[in-house]
Amino acid sequence: MEKHIYLIGFMGSGKSTISRKLKKLMQVKELDMDAEIVSENGMSINDMFARFGEDYFRDKETEMLRKIADSAPAVVSCGGGTVLRQENVDIMKKSGVIVLLTASPQTIYLRVRNSKDRPILNGHMNVEYIASLMEKRRAVYEAVCDIRVATDDKNPDQIAKEILALSGCQKK
Ligand code: S3P
């Protein structure tokens, strides 16, 4: 693999699951941005939002992305909000291919409803809120991606293979 594969999309669109699948298929390094940020800062994302605010977390995302962009090609599972900053998109465009995973608000709800570690959804865990936030972000997601894959009613293996076929990424 010659460049990074950045997986983007709404919370619960399957980025982490699919990046782990791609790691196995491609035998490449896999990085989960949220997990890297948590381990580097020794603090959960909930605590980061609560103690220092969303902008602080967003700065950490940009820092992490810079570091990742400069490292060996990997499959990168981005946070759902990473591409909301143009600066981040610029870094990603320069260093990899951007793959958008999509799913309906209903599917997303079923995947994330028991999650307590997504501050953006805390207190708003319902299909209507998910649908309205998704609608607000849709234009950005669609504009920045190179490839788009729908994940509803597909298994991780199918989705990962679809990504590889569309991206032309090959094992080294
Ligand atoms: C966020 C998505 C989360 C995490 C943070 C903010 C967002 O990542 O980065 O809670 O703004 O959509 P996942 O998409 O992996 O849940």
Residues 61-81 pLDDT 10s:
999 999 999 999 999 999 999
Q: Which of 18, 11, 13 is nearest to 167 (CA)?
A: 18
Mind listing the pLDDT tens digit for each residue in 98-125? 999 999 999 999 999 999 999 999 999 9
Ligand 1: distance of its center to the CA of 11 in Å? Answer: 6
Ligand 1 contact via 9 beta carbon (within 6 Å): no
Ligand 1: distance of its center to the CA of 172 in Å? Answer: 31
How far is residue 98's CA from residue 148's CA, in Å, rounded to a whole number?
9
Atom 8 of ligand 1, residue of closest alpha carbon: 79
Distance spanning both ends of the chain, measured CA to CA? 6
Residues in the chain: 172
Ligand 1: distance of its center to the CA of 80 in Å? Answer: 4
How far is residue 105's CA from residue 113's CA, in Å, rounded to a whole number?
11
How far is residue 126's CA from residue 123's CA, in Å, rounded to a whole number?
9
Mind listing the pLDDT tens digit for each residue in 127-148? 999 999 999 999 999 999 999 9
| Atom of ligand 1 at shortest range from CA of 45 | 10
Q: Which of 2, 6, 12 is nearest to 144 (CA)?
A: 6
- Using alpha carbons, list the distances in angstroms from residue 37 to 27, 33, 124: 23, 6, 24
**Can you say whether the dihedral through the CA atoms of 38, 40, 42, 46 is positive or negative?**
negative
Residue whose tokens read 């990504």? 163
**For residue 172, pLDDT beyond 60:** no
Ligand 1: distance of its center to the CA of 40 in Å? Answer: 17
**For residue 155, pLDDT beyond 70:** yes
| Atom of ligand 1 at shortest range from CA of 117 | 10
pTM here is: 0.96
Please give the structure tokens belonging to residue 30: 């896999």
Please give the structure tokens belonging to residue 84: 């909301």
Angle at 85 between CA 81 and CA 87, to 5 degrees: 135
C-beta of residue 31 within 8 angstroms of C-beta of residue 21: no
